[in-house]
Each structure stands twice: as structure tokens, then as C-alpha cells.
Structure 1
Amino acid sequence: MTRLAKIEGHVRAVKDMAANGRDCSEVLLQIAAVRKALDGAAKLLFKDHLESCVVDAVHHGDEEKVLSDLQKALDNFIR
């Protein structure tokens, strides 16, 4: 949650930069930083999901549903 809150603040700062007419190259650089931060958050979430949800599902015999849900999520995330 802390990571997402920081990203949210960064996005607001980028919005302010654009609204205040900052140089396009500066805004694009900040957008790239936001994208990298979002990728980092997604990586952390995916790691946590594998270590907890998928492991729990395997232990409880629900692996087909969890793997199906994970495949759908990956299909949406990686296009």
C-alpha cells in the first residue's frame, strides 16, 4: 500500500507538471519513472501471490482455479 501511495503521489506530480507547462521531455521522463514504479509494484504483487495464494491453493487442491485466474491476470497484464 505504501508503494502504491507513493506512485499515486508521483502521478499527481506529473499531472501538475503537465498542467504547469513543464518541458515535455521532463514530463516524459517522469512518466517513465511512474511506469517503472508500477512494474515494480506488479512484480512484488506477483511474487507475493506465488508465495502465498498459489502455494495455499496447491495445498488445498484448488490449483486449477488459481492457475486459471493467474493466467487471465497475466494475459491482461502482458499484452
Structure 2
Amino acid sequence: MNRLSRIEGHIRGVKQMAIDERDCPDFLLQIAAIRKALDNTAKLILTDHIETCLVDAVQKGNEQEVLNDIKKALDNFIQ
């Protein structure tokens, strides 16, 4: 939740930059920070998914479910 709140704050900052008519390089720097924060959040969620949901499915013998689940997660993350 903290990561998402920080991302939300960055986005509000970009909106304010538009209102203030800030320079383009400032916008690009903030957008790069937002993208990195989103990527790091997605990696954390994917790691948690692998360590909990997928491990649990493997332990229950649902290998095909595990493969389908990880493919779906990767397809959503890497587009």
C-alpha cells in the first residue's frame, strides 16, 4: 500500500507540473520515476505470487494450473 501511495503522489505531482507549465525534462524525469516505481511494485507482486500461490498449487499437485497461472501473470506483466 505504501508503494501505491507513493506512485499516486508522483502522479499527482505530474498533474501539478502540467498546471504549473513546468519544462518537458521535468515531466520526463517524473514519468521515469513513476514507471520505475510501477515496475518495482509489479515485481514485488509477481514474486509474492510465485512464493505463495504457485508454491501452494505445486504442493497440491496442480502443475498445469501453476503453468497456466505463471504464463498469465507474465503475459500481464510483460506486454
Whether TM exceeds 0.5 here: the answer is yes
Q: Which residue does 1:54 correspond to in 2?
A: 54
4+ residue stretches of structure 1 with deviation over 4 A?
none
Tell me, in whole angstroms, the C-alpha distance in 2 between the residues paired with 1:63 and 1:18: 49
Question: What is the root-mean-square deviation in Å for CA atoms of aligned residues?
Answer: 1.2
Structure 1: which 5+ runs fail to align? none
Amino-acid identity (%):
62
Q: Which residue does 2:63 correspond to in 1?
A: 63
Q: Which residue does 1:75 correspond to in 2?
A: 75
When the two structures are superposed, what TM-score results if normalisation uses the length of structure 1?
0.89
Amino acid at match of 1:71: K
Amino acid at match of 1:23: D
When the two structures are superposed, what TM-score results if normalisation uses the length of structure 2?
0.89
Structure 2: which 5+ runs fail to align? none
Tell me, in whole angstroms, the C-alpha distance in 1 between the residues paired with 2:7 and 2:63: 32
Q: What's the offset of the Cα at 1:40?
A: 0.6
Tell me the SS of whatever aligns to 2:22: coil
Is 1:37 paired with 2:37?
Answer: yes
The count of corresponding residues between Structure 1 and Structure 2 is 79
Pick which of 26-35 and 14-23 moved more: 14-23
Q: What's the offset of the Cα at 1:77?
A: 2.0
Q: Which residue does 2:7 correspond to in 1?
A: 7
